[in-house]
Amino acid sequence: MSEDTLRELFNRGRYWEKVQAGQLHAVEASNRHPSSPKANEPFCTRSLMIEYREGGPRGEIIAKVHQYRRKDGTIGASGLPDPKYLLIGGVVYLLEDGLGDALKR
């Protein structure tokens, strides 16, 4: 699925808002240094993969997003999480950039 279509589904489902409201639980799945200069983020920024889970930290994964966390705690790049995986009605939607197999784990 294209980035634009996956983002549209993510935004329509209001996943980020649900995390902020405590309806979904955000679990950090990976935390590393970003790829420079591709990331174009300030020093000490971290590249994160975050899982959004239903029912707590061990619940079912319904979304996976990438985001840059800056030293001040804000989200870098667009300022919003970038979805890579969504589970909607039992159907998995993945980004078409070759990350599919890695994101299914």
> In this predicted model, what pLDDT tens digit does every residue of 14-45 receive, in sequence order?
999 999 999 999 999 998 887 766 667 777 88
CB 77 within 8 A of CB 68: yes
Mean pLDDT (the chain) is 87
Residue 100 domain-assigned?
no
Whether 98 shows a pLDDT value over 70: the answer reads no
Residue 15 domain-assigned?
yes
- Give the residue from 41, 46, 35 showing the smallest Cα distance to 73: 46
pLDDT at 17: 97
Residue 9 domain-assigned?
yes
Whether 105 shows a pLDDT value over 50: the answer reads no
Strand ranges for the chain from DSSP E: 25-32, 46-53, 61-69, 82-88, 91-94
Residue 105 domain-assigned?
no
pLDDT at 44: 80
Residue 102 domain-assigned?
no
Residue 78 domain-assigned?
yes
**Looking at this protein, which amino acid is placed at residue 84?**
K
User: What's the total number of domains in the chain?
Assistant: 1
Whether 55 shows a pLDDT value over 80: the answer reads yes
